Amino acid sequence: MPWKNGGGVTVEIAINPENASVDNFDWRISTATVANDGPFSVFSGIDRTLSVLEGNSIVLDVEGVETTLTRETAPFAFAADASSGARLIDGTITDLNVMTRRGRFTHHVERIVIDDSRIVASNRGTMLIFCAEGNFDLKTDSRIAHLSLHDCLVMSGEAQFSLELIGKGIVYRISIIEV
């Protein structure tokens, strides 16, 4: 799907509600390939977190404050309605975008490096596990699933739960909570 500002293309991973568009979602997860410097699309009333998945690095300018993001840096949160733009450092990048409608939902994104296995716990609400690098088996009390590159597992519930990730690589745990 084209970017809201027409400057590129995004791949939607998950959106809520299911039939929402880029103008009326409550939360949205996507990846995008950034090949040129330029302004970010403005999303009024939206909070956004950006993580670099592939490529060298990108310098974000949010309201005149620059932050450099690489594949190794923590996810970067900012208001999607703030004046913002990006400058690429040494080529194209692919990023992970998490956006939530302010006042309705909040989110937290965590980059997790796994060398063998790791237990990941959820909060109430929706938890997504996005595979950024490697392959993983996921075990819960009652089932086993598999995640490969750019696969995303979406789980929701009122109760807290946990799962075991077995493998080697990098995942992003995305927690989305209704306010």
Q: How far apart are CA 27 and CA 154, in angstroms?
A: 13
Q: How far apart are CA 108 and CA 127, in angstroms?
A: 10
**Cβ-proximal residues to 141 (8 Å cutoff; 6+ apart), any chain:** none
Q: How far apart are CA 134 and CA 76, in angstroms?
A: 22
Tell me the pTM: 0.92
Residue 162 pLDDT class (50, 70, 90 cuts): confident
Q: From residue 144, give the alpha-carbon distance in Å to each of 134, 140, 163, 166.
A: 17, 7, 10, 11
Q: How far apart are CA 116 and CA 55, in angstroms?
A: 25
Residues 69-85 have pLDDT tens digits of 999 999 999 999 999 99
Residue type, 135: N
Task: Quickly tell me which residue has 């040494």 as its tokens.
Answer: 90
| Lowest mean per-residue pLDDT among 13-17, 39-43, 60-64, 69-73 | 39-43
Domains in the chain with CATH codes? 9-101 (2.60.120.10), 105-178 (2.60.120.10)
**Cβ-proximal residues to 115 (8 Å cutoff; 6+ apart), any chain:** 168
